[in-house]
Amino acid sequence: METIIGIAAGILTSVSMVPQLIKVLKEKEVENLSPLMVGILLTGVSMWVVYGVMLGDLPIIVSNAFSVFVNATLLMCYFLFRPNT
């Protein structure tokens, strides 16, 4: 049961930023996106990947590696789509 809960939690937290990424990609607008929040989240999930590697825990590695991809893409979109001010 613990494994099922852990996998479900990993999936839900991993996909939590996907709707934001889809919105940004569709609208090409990042005015209301906090790059600091995305950067902090990216740092945190990157550390989870390292932790998962240290433990040899594939569910931790996979779910957080996906989060790294989503958040890194979102941060790149911020710099691509931000207004030139």
| Mean pLDDT score of the chain | 93
Number of other residues whose CB lies within 10 A of the CB of residue 78:
16
Residue bearing tokens 């030139």 = 84
**Cβ partners under 8 Å of residue 35, min gap 6:** 75, 78, 79
Predicted pLDDT of residue 85: 63
Highest mean pLDDT among 2-6, 31-35, 67-71: 67-71
Architecture of domain 2-81: Up-down Bundle (1.20)
Binned at pLDDT 50, 70 and 90, residue 2 comes out as confident
Give the pTM: 0.90
Provide the residue ranges of all domains of the chain, joining segments of one domain with +. 2-81
Name the token pair of 32.
């209301």
Predicted pLDDT of residue 24: 96
Predicted pLDDT of residue 83: 84
Using CA atoms, how far apart are residues 59 and 6, in angstroms rounded to an integer? 8
The Cα-based distances of 53 to 6, 10, 23 in angstroms read 16, 15, 32
